[in-house]
Structure 1
């Protein structure tokens, strides 16, 4: 079997990619962004679907290569690359589940944030909230005065949902600029900074939140 007859495109840019980076490189960046961001980010639907489909396809190709003894080294290389991609995929999904567990009430209470979840993540969040709520009521809330018994509101005197753990959007983050954006407002006082491709910043996450969503920056 000629090795050129077998495609293995995790090391290349996929046809659906417009960034010039391979799907594996994009997944690595998505994982890094997710780990560094205080909030849960938009689920990478198209990227994850392509990777899962490609994993299945490459598994089939490797099985064909195994029939040829001369391809043993190539098979080991391909298996190593597949293992790397699967590790990145599992890590990406695991980090997101950890964020859902940490901020489940905040996520479910905010339609815009909840919309960032995949269908499976949304179901996990609902199921987790039911279990978490039952446990909290049994363990603590049922023993508190009525004004403090809600999982989401401390008391009627405090209309804000101050018992809901929420991500700290004002914490600082390291980022790299991927696209020239010119002058960008970086704080509430109206101070601006020049965002040029390749620049590195230590900056409050809130200031680059939208730029991250647009793919103009990546977190480090």
Structure 2
């Protein structure tokens, strides 16, 4: 088989849809690392996941065709191994996000901007999980307490804020690698400034690089 035929199977090649110069596989790995390291749930990578899922379906079909050729057994094994690696990364990415939904479901659903970061299936999962979680907590504890203290979101009904809704700590320290030159940027409430140049590595509060992570100028490691 000619090189131009087998090249279509290489997830490591840079995808034309990417403006970063990195392949979809590399972008997925970065998205997984960001999601693992960030204390909050990040924006779902809709376009990236869509491209990867479509590519995997296509490559599954092509691998089945190649299996008919005995001379391509080694090539098929290589392609299948690479496909398994991508599936593992994708499952890990989705699993980490669902774990965050479970951990901060009330916070997510209570903040429209954060809830908007979820995919459609994730949003449905969050709503279903909250209903089940709420029903369980009420049956096990809340319904046995006086009405003034039976809320799942407030320690007492008179409290003005939802002080029982756990929120992610944006002041958690993270390792951050700079992907794009951004010059000087304010990194704390005191107005201290740091210079962000491509390749720099920082140990820094997540809050300071939150927007840069969202823009793809910084990745977490």
RMSD: 1.1
CA deviation profile, 1:175-200 (whole Å, cap 9, x unmatched): 00111111111111111111111111
Question: Aligned residue for 1:5?
Answer: 5
Question: Aligned residue for 1:84?
Answer: 85
CA deviation profile, 1:11-65 (whole Å, cap 9, x unmatched): 2111211111110110000000000000000000000000000000001111111
Question: Aligned residue for 2:100?
Answer: 99
Residue 10 of structure 1 aligns to a residue in which SS?
coil
The more displaced of 136-145 and 106-115 is 136-145
Matches of 2:5 and 2:187, distance apart in 1:
51
TM-score by length of 1: 0.97
Matches of 1:78 and 1:9, distance apart in 2:
8
Question: 8 Å contact 2:106–2:165 — kept in the other structure?
Answer: yes
Question: Aligned residue for 2:179?
Answer: 178
Matches of 2:131 and 2:116, distance apart in 1:
19
CA deviation profile, 1:62-82 (whole Å, cap 9, x unmatched): 111111111111000000000
Residue 11 of structure 1 aligns to a residue in which SS?
coil
Question: Aligned residue for 1:39?
Answer: 40
Question: 8 Å contact 2:151–2:157 — kept in the other structure?
Answer: no
Gaps of 5+ in 1: none
Question: Aligned residue for 1:192?
Answer: 193
Gaps of 5+ in 2: none
Q: How many equivalent residue pairs?
A: 220
Question: 8 Å contact 2:67–2:76 — kept in the other structure?
Answer: yes
- Write the mapping of 1:104-119 to structure 2, written as runs, cut at 5 A: 104-119=105-120
CA drift at 1:165: 1.2
Matches of 2:176 and 2:93, distance apart in 1:
19
Question: 8 Å contact 2:177–2:220 — kept in the other structure?
Answer: yes
Residue 154 of structure 1 aligns to a residue in which SS?
coil
CA drift at 1:146: 2.0
CA drift at 1:3: 5.1
Question: Aligned residue for 2:57?
Answer: 56
Matches of 1:157 and 1:208, distance apart in 2:
36
Question: Aligned residue for 1:21?
Answer: 22
TM-score by length of 2: 0.97
- Write the mapping of 1:111-190 to structure 2, written as runs, cut at 5 A: 111-190=112-191
